[in-house]
């Protein structure tokens, strides 16, 4: 029984090994071929599309679409879970649909509340 459980993690260990085999040489090679001179005063100047900036550097950040950006981030992650659930939907027992429906209910209630708040001007 324990040996079967360990065998279930073999693909994950392969992925971890591949990640290390790919990442460590990439980090070492980039360190070897990077320029040695670290300080260049032009490097730290602010640039706008390769040109010297003109005008005031700081501007007011419009918070008008901030709630929509947050909703996109949250529901982008939710789509990952929905894809995994949908891919295995027919192989899951019926009892597994109840937690998923609860998850969807909570997420759509949160989206409704965020949409409600996004219309209010005073909170931003």
Q: What's the pTM value of the predicted model, to 2 decimals?
A: 0.42
Closest CA to 68 of 107, 21, 118: 118
Percent of the chain with pLDDT over 90: 6
In this prediction, residue 83 carries a pLDDT of 83
Torsion of CA 46, 48, 54, 57, to 10 degrees: -60
Sign of CA dihedral 59, 64, 69, 71: positive
pLDDT digits (tens, 9 = 90+) for 62-83: 666 777 777 788 788 888 888 8
Fold of 2-48+58-118: Methane Monooxygenase Hydroxylase; Chain G, domain 1 (1.20.58)
pLDDT grade for 117, boundaries at 50, 70 and 90 = confident
Taken as a whole, the chain contains a residue count of 124
Domain boundaries, the chain: 2-48+58-118
């Amino acid at each position: 029984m324990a040996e079967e459980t360990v065998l279930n993690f073999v693909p994950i260990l392969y992925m971890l090994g591949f990640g290390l085999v790919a990442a460590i040489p990439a980090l070492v090679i980039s360190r070897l071929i990077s320029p040695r001179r670290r300080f260049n005063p032009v490097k730290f100047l602010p640039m706008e599309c390769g040109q010297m900036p003109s005008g005031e550097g700081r501007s007011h950040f419009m918070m008008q679409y901030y709630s929509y950006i947050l909703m996109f981030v949250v529901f982008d992650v939710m789509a990952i879970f929905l894809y995994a659930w949908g891919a295995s939907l027919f192989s899951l027992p019926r009892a597994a649909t109840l937690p998923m429906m609860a998850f969807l209910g909570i997420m759509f209630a949160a989206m409704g509340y965020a949409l409600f708040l996004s219309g209010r001007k005073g909170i931003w």
